[in-house]
């Protein structure tokens, strides 16, 4: 470490993974390194959440019927058709 380095405290085992909020689970870490570690942990946590929801059968809310890009609704046919040039 050098003069001017910003020191932050980080949980060695993240709280969301069962780590405890105790001194024994804290480490001094440089601010730049802490940001990288936190970003990596956030990516892993998002993946874990997605897998757990998928296994539990929880789906994202449907966005409903989406109009295909470049299509118009043809009322006589009752469906979207692609426009032709």
DSSP string, 13-79: S-GGGT--SSGGGEEEEEHHHHHHHHHHHHHHHHHHHHHHHHHHT--PPP----PPTTEEEETTTTE
Buried b (16+ CB within 10 A) or exposed e, 13-38: ebeeeeeeeeeeeeeebeeeebeeee
Which pLDDT belongs to residue 43?
Answer: 95
DSSP-assigned beta bridge partners for residue 10: 27
Which pLDDT belongs to residue 12?
Answer: 96
Mean pLDDT value of segment 45-62: 89
Which pLDDT belongs to residue 71?
Answer: 84
Q: How sure is the predictor about 31, in pLDDT bands with cuts at 50, 70 and 90?
A: very high
Residue 84 scores a pLDDT above 80:
no
Which pLDDT belongs to residue 34?
Answer: 96
Which pLDDT belongs to residue 60?
Answer: 77
Q: Rounded to two decimals, what is the model's pTM?
A: 0.62
Residue 33 contacts by C-beta under 8 Å, 6 or more apart in sequence?
none
Residue 85 scores a pLDDT above 70:
no
């Amino acid at each position: 470490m050098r003069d001017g380095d910003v020191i932050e405290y980080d949980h060695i085992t993240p709280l969301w993974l069962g780590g405890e909020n105790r001194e024994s689970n804290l480490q001094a870490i440089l601010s730049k390194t802490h940001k990288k570690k936190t970003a990596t942990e956030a990516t892993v946590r998002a993946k874990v959440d997605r897998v757990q929801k998928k296994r539990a059968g929880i789906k994202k809310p449907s966005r409903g019927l989406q109009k295909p890009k470049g299509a118009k609704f043809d009322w006589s046919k009752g469906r979207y058709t692609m426009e032709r040039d």
